Structure 1
Amino acid sequence: MSQLEFPPIYLLPTHIDPDQLPDLQSQIPSLTYDINEAEVVLGKISKKQRALFELRRLKVLTEEVAGDDTDRPPPAKCRRLSHDTLIEDDASTASDDEDRSRKGVVQVVKLSWFTDSVSLGEVLPLEGYLLYRGLKLSDQHGKVLPSNSPNVLGLPKDDTGEIPGAATAAAMKHKSSHDYSLGPQHPRISIPLKRPALVQETTSEHDITQHLPPIPDFLHTAYSCQRPTLPNPPNDAFIEQLKDIRTTRALLGDKIGVRAYSTCIAAVAAYPHLLTNRIEVDHLPGCGTKIASLFHEWKTNGCIEEVENAKSDAQLSVLRLFYEIWGVGETTAQEFYKKGWRDLDDIVEYGWDQLSRVQQIGVKYYDEFLLKIPRAEVKSIADIILEHANRLHKGYEMVIVGGYRRGKSQSGDVDVVISHRDPAVTLAFIDKIVDALAQSGHITHILTISTRNSGRGQEPLPWKGEGRQAGSGFDTLDKALVVWQDPEWDRSATAKSPNPHRRVDIIVAPWKTVGCAVMGWTSGMTFQRDLRRYCKREKGLKFDSSGVRSRVDGSWVDLESGPDGALAPDMITAEQRVFKGLGLEWRLPEERNTG
């Protein structure tokens, strides 16, 4: 498949299972995430009307052409930009028109064209698969309409691409909400998202690629749970750029973009060599020409324009501020912005009563929650939790999970999994340990507490089919997400505690599924996502930190007991048995840093 020379392809996510989408994206060697770069739009659709709808949804203006019309230049005198607007073209040579026509053609084809081509080992003609062929309409400067600039507020743009009265609209929205004036308004998001030009490969570059290190065998898989991904990878600086773009995508509500960038970040993080050539990037799973062009831009200029523009964009800066409040996601951040709020003081003064209790705590301790926690402090907090657990009942064991176990020098929060070999002891224990730590002064606030696992007698939850899982969230284990503060300080020096508030997650797992809990809560987010995809597609299983279930009959699958039915002797052995039971090579915690 990698030897087939496909034209630039944009993949429509419509009707494609989100769990299968990353796999499919990784199989397309010429994939682009910018539809304006695409010559072929690939979709799991079957009707021309749907193809037109998808192009309109993506704001791609086209004029239908048929058969060989795509090979002829557009009319010399005028080109329609909209239903009622015509512009005159500048005189140009026939070759220029032909080139512009070729680059401006978009063809929407059925997904089966690609799968059939791969199956037969050759790029098939489009006949029989083509749903729609159109010429992308351009403005007088030759730029494909409309602009790619994001518009979170959803306001209409004028002919210049600007949002008329955006500042006024924001001011009116703000005034109606609070009846006060902000003064000068923040501008709208104006990131041009200019894509770097793809540079033609020179003879010397071709020679260089012959001496590039080979792609490791483990990088030929689409599942990051099958790769070793160490902390502090050699391409960390470029990865940070990609993470910035991913955050921007999240703030703009682009969930498909977030997933795509997570996939390529995991691939680059697993690559054990320092990247030197865009061709290397292009060959990594889930990356392709888009990420390769970003690497070329970063390598050439020392920065990526989209990243730099995002840093200086006033609206995105506000959204990022809100997004970093614990308990606030991208949708809520956008809602805050639409209310006219521009900083934490606005939230406190004009929206405090509209916040949930968790969000109020997130605002109150905003600066403290952003502080990183050194490893020594993580260990100290975990030791206190285990000590109090064993005061309540002897025999508790614990594993510190999260970034700490993956080898990070600092953590954003503290995650611990505690368990006991006697299931009667872990039943409803989460309330007891939280009460004890609150009594000792260590827990100052409870953000959320769940006893769902105990509520069903700690029996593994049967799988009920797609869309019928009981509730949402990472798992259904008993857990408490709390605010922690060391109650000890020198009171002779200050009356107020100088100790920062920390975010701590305490997870209680029954011993028979503790390996799944440790595995899930240890691994990076993309590792976890790909683990679920792997279990579904390769094993017919449903995995989360509560246990493994069959997708055939929904029953619990015991991977942690020994051949004689005996429970695992310790929590790490239980985790290793889960890896083995799933047919996965054991990966040390330090090898699960997928970014």
Structure 2
Amino acid sequence: MSSDLPTPPETGRVGSMSLRALPPIYILPAHLTLDELHEFEDEVIELGAPFTYDAKEAKIFLGKVERKTRAAFELRSKGVWTEENIVKMEEPARKRRRVTPAPPTEVVIISDDESEAGEHVNVKAKETNAATSSRRPLREEDFVLPDLHNRVLVVKLAWWDECFRHRRLRPIEPFIVYDGRLIPKPDGESTPTSSPSSVRTQRPDTTSNNEHTSSPLQQNILARAKADAEVVKEKGHPVAFQHRRRFKQQNPPPVYGSLIPKLKRMTTSEFEECDAKALPEPPDWVKNHSMYCCLRSTPMNQPNHRFISELQKIKLSRILTLDQIGVRAYSTSIASLAAYPYLIRSPLEIMRLPGCDERIATHFSEYKATSPSESERYLPVARKLDEDENLQCLKILYDIWGCGADTARKMYFTYGWKDIDDVVQFGWNTLNRAQQIGVKYYDEFKTTIPRKEVEEITEIAKQHARKARGIKPHQYDTDEDIVAVIVGGYRRGKEQSGDVDMILSHRDENVTRNLIVDVVSELEESSYITHTLTLNTTTTKRGQQTLPYTGGDGGHGFDSLDKALCVWQDPNFEIPPSEAADPDSAPVMKNPNIHRRVDIIISPWRTVGCAVLGWSGATTFERDIRRWCKREKGWKFDSSGVRDRRDGLVLDFETPRKGKEGMEGDTWLDREKRLMDGLGIGWRPATERCTS
């Protein structure tokens, strides 16, 4: 071996201090890659410290953790429940124990040549004087641990780095993040699946000289393999998060089967004698078994909203686990239940609804069995999902603007980020600009917007669009004026909206060409728009024509209009009288107004009905419009227009026609009505398009 390489430490000894007297050590996987986790495990075992894969055995937890609350959370996620210990490290000496040097021990050193031949040489490790030893033993400062009976410590990994670099134990007090006292699991709290109890603490090998002794690294590999094998044998619950890293299985969805009671199976005679006769007369869409929710009315206030909200939780779990089939299935079932005009009292009612099968009926049986009172009922499967800490963390990350489910899973399962603080501390530089803004205004974006404020924001945007195109006051509210339509949840009747969606249009296509660029510039200059997340001019670039049909679904997706996704803040706010009296001496006051998410969409007048229809319905309603047009009509619909899939020709359903009573109206609402009739789905107001 090269003389430049450092001499490996004796197993179980760091400098002049033995590590065998340390309590069991567990490495927290948060913020560590799989390679980093294994590297630290190898170092701990190589230096002879007692290492365990079972968090409940450990007394010292090493990890990249900076805050006490996060440390307690990490312990809880491993099934270790604690409360902060109020006794500090400076406790009486009688409660402290000193880690003393162990007597000289016999260790095995394998040379390169001998290891190739499979031969082992036993060497007596002795304490030598610094003057005669080739490696001068380092004099260790006092290393003191508190009494860890019924207590655990969460320590920064930087402490272990210090010990490894100096080849001796360093004082631990400056690196302690959390000193926790063990407590029983509180009633009503859920404990994530912990490591198998069969995985025991790994300690330095103590075999005799004539026995074959494996290296610490080999012991580590075998121990890790054994731990993984034990986890594989466990059935009936998801794989524990810490062992999932060892498998490199980053995306296993949680599995929660339906609990009792099961859907009751009925004989023919029982069915005839049951309440089937008392069931309400089903709507026509139920009788016709219509699968398209765009063909039926779905109001905002739904009699079965409590049961639907429980199913929404399951749907969200399918989104977060990338189960697209499950998402679509639950979306279809929820849309059917939302349109049903009666309070459901029997699973038989659910079985006759299109898009609802025995699984949904079983969910209802479980839901109904939890309580005789409708207001107190819950779905056991949904409650389990609420208590799943993996899904809770994924939901936090998923709610960051600019992060989809796939990005959230990567943040959590690959990087170990569990909350917004983790994203800021460990991943800020890896986020794109839109995601950074989503993190910065995370809490503000989650604050809903009342209807009055939605109207005020839209009116301000309309005024700036008028200014950008030179619309004069005498042209206001005429055919020469800018038209602004509030769409999204506001138009469906929501009292509180998550963001503001508006469509701006004009009867002259020269006005709408590149209007999005000019209106955003005006709003930025007036300080209403603080950030522009996305700015698209796709309609202008294709001459404001309908999106071409290329044989598949084609184009750039369902939404293909000029649009800007912005961050909005009202620049007007009151200045305290004390500061207003002397503005020169007063410091610059920060704008206290909340930031809002605002989407501005531009549509040419020729297809404004398509734009309004495409942005007014809930998600499943819009999905079914596209399915209806494709499967039943052979057309392609998006917010830029309608085309025939057979020849690619544009189909015009919006242009006014002269009837018996004269020319039809030419407002945006008239155009939307004609469009819906032309598509064959029939007109219904936006307040009846509230699917999900």
Corresponding residue number in structure 2 for 1:159 = 233
| Equivalent position of 1:124 in the other structure | none
Question: How far did 1:190 drift?
Answer: 5.5
Opposite residue 488 of structure 1, the aligned amino acid is N
Question: What is the TM-score of this pair, normalised by structure 2?
Answer: 0.59
Match of 2:257 in 1: 193
C-alpha deviations, 1:340-366, integer Å up to 9, x for none? 111111111111111111111111111
Pairing partner for 1:411 from 485, 497, 500:
497
CA distance in structure 2 between the aligned counterparts of 1:432 and 1:384, rounded to whole angstroms:
14
Is contact 1:451-1:479 (8 Å) kept? yes
**1:229 pairs with one of 298, 306, 310:** 298
The match for 1:253 among 322, 331, 334 is 322
Q: Which residue of 2 aligns with 1:54?
A: none
Name the residue aligned to 2:180. Answer: none
2:369 & 2:271 partners in 1: Cα distance? 17
1:572 equivalent in structure 2: 669
Please list the CA deviations of residues 410-444 of structure 1 after superposition, one character each: whole Å capped at 9, or x if unmatched. Answer: 11110001100000000011000000111111111
C-alpha distance in structure 2 between counterparts of 1:434 and 1:423, whole Å = 18
**For each residue in 1:171-203, what CA deviation from the matched residue of structure 2 results, as whole angstroms up to 9, or x when unmatched?**
999xxxxxxxxxxxxxx9755333442223484
Letter in 2 for 1:347: V
CA drift of 1:243 comes to: 0.7
- Code of the residue aligned with 1:484 in structure 2: it is W
Does residue 476 of the first structure (1) align with residue 545 of the second (2)?
A: no
Number of residue pairs matched by the alignment:
428
Equivalent residue for 2:380? Answer: 305
Q: Distance in 1 between matches of 2:362 and 2:340?
A: 18
**Given the superposition, is the C-alpha separation of residues 245 and 524 from structure 1 closer, same or farther in structure 2, using an over 3 Å criterion?**
same
- After TM superposition, the structure 1 = structure 2 runs for residues 133-152 of structure 1, keeping only pairs within 5 Å, are none
Q: Deviations over 1:118-138 (max 9, x none)?
A: xxxxxxxxxxxxxxxxxxxxx
Alignment of 1:99-498 (within 5 A): 158-161=232-235, 166-167=241-242, 170=245, 191-196=255-260, 197-201=262-266, 203=270, 206-219=273-286, 220-301=289-370, 302-338=377-413, 339-393=415-469, 394=471, 395-467=481-553, 469-472=554-557, 474-492=558-576, 495-498=589-592
* C-alpha contact 1:477 1:509 (8 A) present in aligned 2: yes
Mapped to 2, the partners of 1:333 and 1:436 lie a distance apart of: 35
Contact 1:325–1:363 under 8 Å retained in 2: yes
Gap runs ≥5 in structure 2: 1-192, 194-227, 371-376, 472-480, 580-588
Question: Shift of residue 303 of structure 1?
Answer: 1.7
For residues 240 and 609 of structure 2, the distance between their equivalents in structure 1, rounded to whole angstroms, comes to 57
Structure 1 residues 131-166: Cα deviation after superposition (integer angstroms, max 9, x where no partner): xxxxxxxxxxxxxxxxxx9xxxxx985122267774
CA contact (8 A) 2:504 2:600 kept: yes
Where 2:325 maps in the other structure, the secondary structure is: helix
Letter in 2 for 1:422: D
Measured against aligned partners, the alpha-carbon deviations of 1:219-271 in whole angstroms (never above 9, x if no partner) come to 33111000000001011111101111100011111000000100011100000
CA–CA distance in structure 2, aligned partners of residues 227 and 594 of structure 1: 10
Structure 1 position 459, deviation (Å): 1.4
CA distance in 1, matches of 2:272, 2:497: 41
Asked if 2 retains the 8 angstrom alpha-carbon contact of 1:515 and 1:572, the reply is yes
Q: Which residue of 2 aligns with 1:544?
A: 638
Q: Is the 8 A contact 1:236 1:269 kept in 2?
A: yes
CA distance in 2 between counterparts of 1:190 and 1:277 reads 29
> 2:272 & 2:349 partners in 1: Cα distance?
11
* Residues 1:560 and 2:645 aligned together: no
Relative to structure 1, the CA distance from residue 163 to residue 577 in structure 2 (aligned partners, 3 Å threshold; closer, same or farther) is closer
Asked if the contact 2:311/2:330 (under 8 Å) is kept, the reply is yes
Q: Give yes or no for contact 1:189–1:313 (8 Å, CA) kept in 2.
A: no
Moved more, 398-407 or 299-308: 299-308
Q: CA deviation at 1:207?
A: 2.7
Change (3 A) 1:309 1:189: farther
Contact 1:453 1:478 in 2 (8 A): yes
How far apart are 1:515 and its partner, in Å? 0.3
Aligned pair in 2 of structure 1 residues 552, 191: CA closer, same or farther (>3 Å)? closer
- 1:507-547 superposed Cα distances (whole Å, 9 cap, x missing partner): 00000000000011001111100000000111110001111
Q: Scaled by the length of structure 1, what TM-score is found? A: 0.69
Preserved contact between residue 447 and residue 481 of structure 1 (Cα < 8 Å): yes
d(CA) in 2 for partners of 1:362 and 1:556?
Answer: 38
Q: Return the alpha-carbon distance in structure 1 between the equivalents of residues 407 and 321 of structure 2.
A: 12
Instruction: Tell whether the 8 Å contact from 1:520 to 1:544 is kept in structure 2 after alignment.
Output: yes
* Inter-CA distance 439–212: structure 2 relative to 1 (3 Å threshold): same
Contact 2:610 2:675 in 1 (8 A): yes
The alignment partner of 1:479 has SS state of strand
CA contact (8 A) 1:426 1:508 kept: yes
Which is greater in Rg?
2
Task: Show the counterpart of 1:593.
Answer: 690
Structure 1: state its 5+ residue gaps.
1-148, 150-154, 174-187
Q: Distance in 2 between matches of 1:206 and 1:264?
A: 28
Deviates more, 1:482-491 or 1:429-438: 482-491
- Report the CA distance between 1:568 and its aligned residue: 5.8
- The letter for the 1-side match of 2:485 is V
SS of the residue corresponding to residue 326 of structure 1 reads: coil
Alpha-carbon RMSD: 2.5
Any idea what SS the aligned residue of 2:274 has?
helix
- Asked if structure 2 preserves the Cα contact closer than 8 Å seen for 1:402 and 1:414, the reply is yes
Deviation of 1:584 after TM superposition, in Å, equals 2.0
Going from structure 1 to structure 2, the CA distance change for 1:340 and 1:535 (only over 3 Å counts) comes to same
For 2:297, give the aligned amino acid.
P
**Counterpart Cα distance in 1 of 2:445 and 2:402:** 12
Give the 3-state SS of the residue equivalent to 1:221 in structure 2: coil
1:205 Cα deviation after fit:
8.9
- Report the residue type matching 1:464 in the other structure: T
| Cα separation, partners in 2 of 1:205 and 1:345, compared to 1, 3 Å | farther
Aligned partner of residue 594 in structure 1, secondary structure? coil
Secondary structure of 1:158's match?
A: helix
Q: Cα offset for 1:491?
A: 2.2
Shift of 1:389: 1.2
Contact 1:224 1:530 in 2 (8 A): yes
Instruction: Decide whether the 8 Å contact of 1:397 with 1:418 is kept in 2.
Output: yes
Amino acid at match of 2:549: W
Matched residue, 2:148: none
- Matched to 1:286, the amino acid is G
The farther-off stretch of 264-273 and 553-562 is: 553-562
User: Percent sequence identity over matched residues?
Assistant: 46
| Alpha-carbon distance between aligned partners in 2 of 1:259 and 1:276, rounded to the nearest angstrom | 25
1:68 is aligned to none
- Cα distance in 1 for partners of 2:244, 2:355 equals 40
